[in-house]
A and B are shown apart, each in its own frame.
Chain A
Amino acid sequence: MSETTRLNSLLTVDSLSKRFGSLHAVNDMTLSIETGKITGLIGPNGAGKTTLFNLISGVLNADSGKIAFNGKDITHKKPYQIAQLGIGRSWQLIRIFSKMTALENLLIAANRKKGNALKYAMELLDLFGLTEEKGNYAGELSVGQQKMLSIARILMLDAELMLLDELAAGVNPPEQDKMMAVIHQLCDEEGKTFFIIEHDMDVIMGHCDRVVCMNFGEKIAEGSSGEVQNNEKVIEAYFGG
């Protein structure tokens, strides 16, 4: 890793490892996420992608290695502390509060003063096209709307880095397009940084500035989407024996 990429990187992961018994879920992982960019994380099932997210967001504790955010060591911080520092995450299984309204789901994550929070929440609902749903229970929304609500919720934290797990799964194409358009807008206009796990290669190849590919807990390739797409190890991981 050269000095210049270090300067631009919001998150750096250094030789991170996590074992479950004899399984190396994440093994000696080193990567950096650049500010204001969309980075994709791909790999076959069981490659360790969600484990890596769980380590970064503090849900799991690393066995060894280091995670730094904005130059600050966050390796052994608790999930709520990491969230307060500015790393928001969404979950594969969405995990919004289904018995609260859409608006309440946002307000509860607010990191700012009351009146201000309400204004920002309304802006976010508008941005994601959810204004009409603000008074409905979140559990009553469509899967796509719930996913967008979960992204809006971590934006309420004023998070700089969003870890989004399985963003597009179960979301219909028009909603996917809407979601990706908003993500690009947030990157370009507000300098937000995204790190996304995704199985839909069209989403990854069409929208990510950089792509990291994992297999068996290790990073096997990293680069622009074109580079990763043509990488032999990646092709082997997906199609080979």
Chain B
Amino acid sequence: MLIIGILIVTGFLVLPHFSSAYLVTLFLIMFVYIGYATAWNLMSGLTGYVNFGFALFVGIGSYTSVLLIEDLKLWWPAAWFLGGVSSAMVAVILGSFMLRLRGSYFAIGMLALLLGIKLLFTSKYLSPITRGGYGFPFIEPLSMNMMYYALCFLAMGNIFISYKVITSTFGARLIAIREDEEGAGSIGINATKNKIIAFALSGFLAGLIASGHIAFQNYIEPESAFSGQWTIVPIVMVLLGGPGSVWGPVIGAVILTFVEEFLWSHFTQAYMMIYGMIMILLVMMMPGGIIEWLKSRGTLPKIRSI
């Protein structure tokens, strides 16, 4: 296992020296998706609170890092980090009241907040800072290869953090909340506090990855930074791979990056619709994703660290 891991990582590291710019970009997008999927999973896969407002974290993180680099000339790693911090802060503020709602009310509420905040970023109230709904071009001071390595590092970091969380007592508490929130309360688990911490962590990682994601696009506007796509895509990836597991989101992200690339280049107009259909089929046929399916067949052991 260790050898395979080392081989894969080495492959990632040497890739930019051998392959085309196209492949580098494709892998870069894969790292972004691994990051988003693991970040979404840490909150929603573990606690069962489905976050339809995930794109909010992406948008906030993107805007924060781009504006810090453009307007304040901040060193890019610091700006990316603060992109994560800003999303985490938004998560704490929104979570402190949204996470008192149960199940579908939380999901719908987050979707409404996403639409509302996207609108706020296009409005005249924030336009002195955000430059309004049309957005603006920018260039971040790092090469494509540097972005590739940075995102590779962040994606691996996300996997490591999600492994640490899922195998910890904190992770077990989050799963307990998903299984039975009232029961969790009766054994002394402060559900609201644990949910807010998980939400903030999910927001932080999303904002961090989003900062790297926006960096190579050289243009930012509310419509694409807060696009519902950044909610749908990670959810489908996690559902495919296996919610609540360490490797499920990663497997889902890797498979769907290439599926998406294929769909996007062949069915440019319909590809989000095809995505939606995949999501419906997954929920119906394979509710626990690939990982849970393999566990129930006995191919994988029933342990949380996978």
Binding site for B on A (CB under 8 A): 57, 59, 78-80, 83-84, 88-89, 91, 95-101, 104, 107-111, 114, 137, 153-154, 156-157
Contact = CB atoms under 8 A, between A and B. Distances in A.
Interface stretch (B129-137, B184-192, B196-204): B184-192
Nearest to A98: B179
A9 to B, nearest CB: 22
A80 B182 CA distance: 9
Contacts of B180: 95, 97
Contacts of A57: 186
Query: For chain B, what secondary structure do more than half of its interface residues adopt (helix, strand, loop), or is it mixed?
Result: helix
B65 to A, nearest CB: 37
Contacts of A78: 185, 190
B186 A108 contact: no
A167 to B, nearest CB: 16
Contact of A104 (B172, B184, B187, B188): B172
Contacts of B172: 100, 104, 107-108
B175 interface: yes
Contact of A100 (B175, B182, B190): B175
Nearest to B190: A80
Given A107-B169, A137-B302, A83 B176 contact: no
A233 to B, nearest CB: 32
Contacts of A83: 185-188
Nearest to A158: B188
Given A107-B169, A108-B169, A80 B189 contact: yes
B183 A84 contact: no
B185 A108 contact: no
Contact of A89 (B169, B173, B186, B302): B186
Contacts of A157: 187-188
Contacts of B182: 59, 79, 95
A104 B189 CA distance: 14
Given A98-B179, A100-B176, A91 B169 contact: no
Interface residues of B toward A: which range?
Answer: 10 to 19
B183 A97 contact: yes
Contacts of B179: 97-100
Given A99-B175, A100-B176, A137-B302, A109 B183 contact: no
B176 A108 contact: yes
Contact of B185 (A79, A98, A104): A79
A177 B179 CA distance: 30
**Which 10 A-B pairs have CB atoms at the shortest separation, nearest pair first?**
A83-B188, A79-B185, A95-B183, A109-B187, A97-B179, A84-B188, A108-B172, A80-B185, A80-B190, A80-B188
Contacts of B185: 59, 78-80, 83
15 contacts: A78-B185, A79-B182, A80-B190, A83-B185, A89-B186, A91-B186, A95-B182, A96-B183, A97-B176, A99-B179, A107-B169, A108-B172, A108-B187, A156-B187, A157-B187
Contacts of A84: 188
Contacts of B169: 107-108, 110, 114
Contacts of A59: 182, 185-186
B191 A80 contact: yes
B170 to A, nearest CB: 10
A109 B188 CA distance: 7
B15 to A, nearest CB: 38
A92 to B, nearest CB: 12
A88 B183 contact: no
Contacts of A137: 302
A83 B185 CA distance: 8
Interface in B155-177: 169, 172-173, 175-176
B175 A97 contact: yes
A102 B189 CA distance: 18
B176 A111 contact: no
Given A91-B183, A108-B172, 9 more contacts: A80-B186, A83-B185, A95-B182, A99-B179, A100-B179, A104-B172, A108-B173, A111-B188, A156-B187
A105 B187 CA distance: 10
A143 B85 CA distance: 47
A107 B182 CA distance: 18
